[in-house]
Amino acid sequence: MKIAEGQQKFVQAWGTLGAQWGINRTMAQIHAVLFLSPESLTTDDIMERLGISRGNANMNLRALIDWGIVFKEFKPGERKEFFYTTKNTHQLARQVMKERRRREIEPVLSILEELSDVKDDGTKEGKEFVKVTKEMKAFVEEANHLAAFLSKAEKNWITGKLLKLLK
């Protein structure tokens, strides 16, 4: 397999994986293109490599910047903006985990906190509601603590501990 073919296969696979994780496929593909690129790229470069419109590229680049995994760079003498991403996979994973925690876990935890004020009204439904939301809140709090811990953990520690758990 030639490099260009391998790169294309990686970009497509990263896009599919991103879609399974709940993010836009094009957003994941843009990230993959930047991840594989040895240097920062312009919006035009990204559009050409993926065959997407300027609006699609700009919208997804803004989203990737909001996630904290793509960065803007200005080069002296250039009018265009250049974009790049970290090549450190552990740093990338920690940032994604941090953002998913902020965007997904914390809002659910906030709702479950509100629901913990609901009082059991003595009915079967009331008892079940209180029981289930209390258990869910405990689980989400544990997930939140784990995600917070892992998003702060260092590369070597994470790798070492996870490998020990998997053996």
Pairing of strands 81-85, 41-42: antiparallel
End-to-end alpha-carbon separation of the chain, Å? 33
The kind and range of the H/E element at 149 are: helix 124-152
* Position with higher pLDDT, 161 vs 79: 79
Residue 163: pLDDT band (50, 70, 90) is: low
pLDDT in tens, 90-101: 888 888 888 888
CATH class of the 3-85 domain in this structure: mainly alpha
pLDDT tens sequence across 41-77 = 999 999 999 999 999 999 999 999 999 999 999 999 9
Name the residue with tokens 């990263």: 14
pTM for the whole structure: 0.78
Domain boundaries, the chain: 3-85, 89-166
Higher local confidence (pLDDT), 139 or 147: 139
